[in-house]
Chain A
Amino acid sequence: MLTLTINGAEHRLDVDPDMPLLWAIRDHAGLTGTKYGCGMSQCGACTVHLDGKAVRSCVTPVSAAAGKSVTTIEGLDSAAGRALQAAWEKLDVVQCGYCQSGQIMSAVDLLTRNPDPTDSDITTALSGNICRCGTYVRIRAAIKAASRALG
């Protein structure tokens, strides 16, 4: 039995310690906003925060998250998170939407570390997140808009 703190709530999960955090979050904690896209840290759809830092939950064993604080898209309530979600909505960034939880989680990590990122900073921080619909122009614009909104 493992205890995970997800979005501030404790979950006691009877799972294989090798199970990727992604599947513990989705199949056992029942939070499905975090997506499966590749299973090998290639696409970023599974991005969550572990103690405030972005990780790929598809390659993070659930045992590595025990005792730490996991934040998923459903629990995002930092100033950066709210600003980014608002900018995403204002600019209608999404198309199919499947990657966008991961995109936003990566963007929150970026703005938390670097409130005024350059284009190059954005490229570096988001290059691990694939959007097959090609919403990259708007992702970039939304991060800049959120950065401005945060002052």
Chain B
Amino acid sequence: MHNKETVMISRRLFLVKSMVAGAGLTLGMALPGCSREEAAQESLPEAGPGKAGGAVVAESHFAPNAFVRIGADDRVTVIIKHLEMGQGTYTGLATLVAEELDAAWSQIEVEGAPADANTYNNLFWGKLQGTGGSTAIANSYEQMRNAGAAARHMLVAAAARQWQVPAADIDVQDGVLRHAASGRQATFGTLAELAAQEAVPETVFLKDPEEFRLIGTRVPRKDSRAKVNGSALFTQDVQLPGMLTALVVHPPRFGARLKDFDASKAKQVPGVVEVVGIPAGVAVLANDFWSAKKGRDALQVEWDETDAFMLGSAELVAQYRALADTPGSSVRNDGDAGSALQSARQTLQTTLAFPYLAHAALEPMNCVMQRTPDGVEVWNGEQYQTPDQQAVAGVFGIAPEQVKINMLYAGGSFGRRANPHSDYLVETATIVKAIGGRAPVKLVRTREDDMRAGYYRPLYVHKIEAGLDAAGNPVAWHHRIVGQSIAADTAFEGALIKDGVDVTSVEGVSNLPYAIPNINVELHSPVHPVPVQWWRSVGSTHTAFAVETFIDRLAAAAGRDPVVFRRALLKAHPRHLGVMELAADKAGWGSPLAPARGRGIAVHESFNSYVAQVAEVTVHADKTFSVDRVVIAVDCGIAVNPDVVRAQMEGGMAFGLAAALNSELTLEQGRVVQSNFHDYRVLRIDEMPEVEVHIVTSTQPPTGVGEPATPVIAPAVANALSAATGQWFDRLPLQLSV
């Protein structure tokens, strides 16, 4: 039978009632945002996943809650509250519903949720709707299962009533309800209308993990077909009647302001409709992209650079290095690291530098927006519904709920589309406002705009000093981090800055897992106008490298194997140990390697998931190197879809490998040097190593997989290179000097 695990009744009661409040049960009633906009949707290339509220509602449907809709045609539509940006959330969240509903995977369709924080909030973020921090599956795990279980309960109740049999005698499998004794059976669709008249259950029962049929198996992605035949709809693809394409010229330096512009030549370009000054710069609006680009090229703009940021990355690194020699805000202080360093048998010290990084999602930032009689409608790869609604509403002086958002597929994000300042949405809104809202506007950033208009992983400097006792055990770890705060001056300041410490600057060091009796961690958060933002795995992008490479240095100084050294220090952290041992075992740790080859390991927890990677490298005669093979072990609790987990391990690692090998955004006299993929290099297929992924079997609740693979590869590769060459690395991207 179905029901064994009773989840806390009080929590369930709340969840089910809140779902009812979100959508209601009325037959034929559309979910919020479904009905009024069909006219506008008709001009879009294709309805379906990635497009919120666009599906024409089946004649007769059963919507037991805000997440499930069942049509008379047997189609089960799962409404997904999180952005699909490649991480597989449309598949994962639908799997949770299908599991408890006992639906056939083939009858499941997915649809992006509208912006409505009362119904579709991220349960880890309070009344805020948004995607990030590798939370989609983790925060939805019970919610979506509850939604499926509630729908199943009502379908079973309807069948029991119609067939006059006990509900307990009805079995559900692959979208079909059966009563074995009488031989009666019915599909979801045929019962949908009756089920809608059943009471929404106050409690539902969820399956025990051993009863799962879909969770823990590979079910195919729901977005594959549309993404291989070109029909998947991204923001870039939205075409609305009368829509204008806007390109913006931004200031050449951060902090500079618009002084004056001459649009006379731009306006002579055929297709250019209007040129308007906005707070972010000057926008050229045209009938198509190419006209807007030619118009922008013809624009003459003067900038006021009085308050412009004029420093380069080299000067910033020098300033940060000086700051790293001074005490900062206290992050963590266990024991007395200062005294322990004094009395240590040997001490080691390093200072590391990490550059600014652009997200460089392949779809450059863009947004479509139009004024409507009710407010504003947005089409966007929408990652931060609630903050974006507030920011856009602020531009127009309307209420946030008057900002309707259609969540489309995002062509990557890596954090960029969750901008705490809603930067490109506000930019679009100011353009729409500047033209009096008389046409829909598609803001398009060119690759160059996307790279140069800001919002980067901050530049960081780390200084670490550690001491070993006579037995080679680490006794002290003193760590200073210098870098801009991401959360400062955002709505997230209250949640993320504690006692003057931006937790996103220090995560990965503040929770250093190694058993070292004296640990002192400090932070400096210099303030200047270079715009910064979270970048896939956030603080761990730099802290994992600093910690894991320095651990290898300590191991070498202690004369111990890196795995043996870590093993002794991770006794209190079984999940760290578990992935480290699994990766080491599968990689053949300790087996001989050919000359000029090296093997390195790193282990790191982020977003409550644990990842270890072993990298194998070859150093070539010309002082270049290649990463040949990466073995990844991950403990993310229950792997809802092991193939999606593998994909995120492969891709997350590749994203981190790009930063380890190639990517670096530099400032010179305040100007961004790089502009496109020829000088901001990301990973290409020739640099992709062989990858093996091993998933720890677990019954723990699922945790995130979008980010945790990213920070582990750079230290694994650096440690492999150190093993091969004896060189230690103090910067990213990695450069061989020997």
Contact = CB atoms under 8 A, between A and B. Distances in A.
Contact of A92 (B220, B684, B690): B220
B224 A89 contact: yes
Interface string A84-98: 010011001111111
Interface residues of A, number: 56
Nearest to B679: A42
B627 to A, nearest CB: 12
A60 interface: no
Interface stretch (B161-169, B231-239, B303-311, B569-577): B231-239
Q: Which of the listed residues B225, B237, B294, B411 has the most CB atoms from chain A within 10 Å of its own CB?
A: B411
A72 B225 CA distance: 16
B676 A20 contact: no
Contact of B289 (A27, A73, A76, A99): A27
Given A34-B230, A95-B87, A97-B232, A23 B685 contact: no
B424 interface: no
A14 to B, nearest CB: 10
B228 A35 contact: no
A59 interface: no
Nearest to B447: A38
Contacts of B686: 123, 127
A132 B228 contact: no
Contacts of A31: 230
B276 interface: no
A68 interface: no
B685 A126 contact: yes
The 9 tightest CB contacts between A and B, nearest first, are A33-B230, A134-B654, A98-B411, A97-B227, A95-B86, A96-B86, A73-B230, A32-B237, A136-B688
A30 B44 CA distance: 10
A4 to B, nearest CB: 15
A37 B647 contact: no
A50 interface: no
Contacts of B655: 132-134
B234 A130 contact: no
Interface of A: 15-16, 19-20, 23, 26-28, 30-40, 42-43, 45, 72-74, 76, 85, 88-89, 92-101, 104, 122-123, 126-127, 129-140
Contact of B362 (A37, A39, A88, A122): A37
Nearest to B44: A32
Q: Which of the listed residues A23, A33, A85 has the most CB atoms from chain B within 10 Å of its own CB?
A: A33
B223 A138 contact: no
Contacts of A99: 362, 411
Contacts of B125: none
A80 to B, nearest CB: 14
B220 A95 contact: no
B224 A92 contact: yes
A95 B223 CA distance: 9
